[in-house]
């Protein structure tokens, strides 16, 4: 049996864990913040309190499966839930920052529905796991995290992520172009560090 005792203070982002197996042992895990871009091309990025990348997961590659003959993909809720504990016990998550999703002009009905499904699944999973969550609109986090960053659109998030989280690989695998979902997720986690 493992009992988790979380001790968060302003000066310490470490969590003490007590293993109860006859004798008492102590171990320490780093506490981290997750940024989640919930879109089908989104990602999860875990950062420590210094903004160092602990890890990342691409939604399309790891949290979905192909359906039918075409390129259509569906979310797999169990994969999504498992991804949250990729870097340690759930109790080491200090905060999850989830980007709020909304319908956009000129977006197709199927695309809007898929976006809503992914967002709803993340809301349900985070609530079921009892994780501290902040839901933030893109306009809010970009005002804070992208302040003073030159460029337009998604390029600003890519510049900010590559500058402020240099150990995050924005071009994983065979990608040549930086992954905007990874950049957004990193920026969301950076937003969470300042909360």
Q: Where do the domains of the chain lie, and which CATH numbers do they carry?
A: 31-193 (3.30.420.10)
Q: Which token pair is 130?
A: 């009892």
166 near 52, Cβ under 8 Å?
Answer: no
Q: What number is the average pLDDT over the span 75-88?
A: 90
Dihedrals phi, psi of 25, to nearest 5 degrees: -125, 155
- The Cα–Cα gap between 180 and 156 comes to 10
* Long-range Cβ contact pairs of 70-77 (< 8 A, separation 24 or more): 73/40, 75/40, 75/117, 75/118, 75/121, 77/121, 77/124, 77/125
Helix (H, G, I), strand (E, B) or coil at 49: coil
Which one of 34-38, 58-62, 83-87 scores highest in mean pLDDT? 34-38
Q: Kindly list the distances between the CA atom of residue 71 and the CA atoms of 58, 101, 165, 186, 193, in Å, as whole numbers in the listed order.
A: 16, 22, 31, 26, 36
Among candidate residues 60, 61, 31, 59, the one with its CA nearest the CA of residue 46: 31
pLDDT in tens, 102-114: 766 777 767 677 7
189 near 50, Cβ under 8 Å?
Answer: no
- The Cα–Cα gap between 54 and 25 comes to 25
Among candidate residues 169, 125, 103, the one with its CA nearest the CA of residue 185: 169
Average the pLDDT over each of 19-33, 52-66, 142-156, 174-188 and give the range with the smallest value.
Answer: 19-33
pLDDT in tens, 123-180: 999 999 999 999 999 999 999 999 999 888 889 999 999 999 999 999 988 878 899 9
Q: Which token pair is 143?
A: 């005002």
Q: What is the mean pLDDT of the chain?
A: 82
């Amino acid at each position: 049996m493992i009992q988790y005792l979380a001790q968060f203070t302003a000066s310490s982002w470490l969590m003490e864990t007590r293993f109860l197996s006859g004798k008492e042992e102590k171990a320490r895990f780093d506490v981290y913040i997750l940024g989640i871009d919930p879109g089908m091309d989104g990602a999860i990025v875990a950062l420590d309190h210094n903004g160092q990348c602990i890890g990342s997961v691409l939604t399309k590659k790891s949290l979905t499966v192909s359906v039918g003959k075409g390129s259509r993909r569906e979310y797999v809720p169990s994969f999504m839930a498992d991804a949250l504990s990729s870097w340690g016990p759930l109790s080491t998550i200090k905060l999850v920052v989830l980007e709020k999703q909304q319908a956009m002009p000129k977006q197709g009905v199927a695309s809007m529905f898929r976006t809503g499904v992914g967002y709803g699944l993340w809301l349900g999973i985070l609530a079921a796991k009892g994780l501290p969550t902040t839901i933030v609109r893109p306009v809010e986090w970009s005002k804070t995290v992208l302040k003073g960053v030159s460029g337009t659109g998604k390029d600003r998030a890519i510049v900010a992520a590559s500058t402020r989280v240099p150990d995050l690989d924005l071009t994983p695998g065979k990608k040549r172009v930086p992954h905007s979902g990874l950049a957004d997720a990193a920026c969301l986690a950076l937003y969470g560090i300042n909360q």
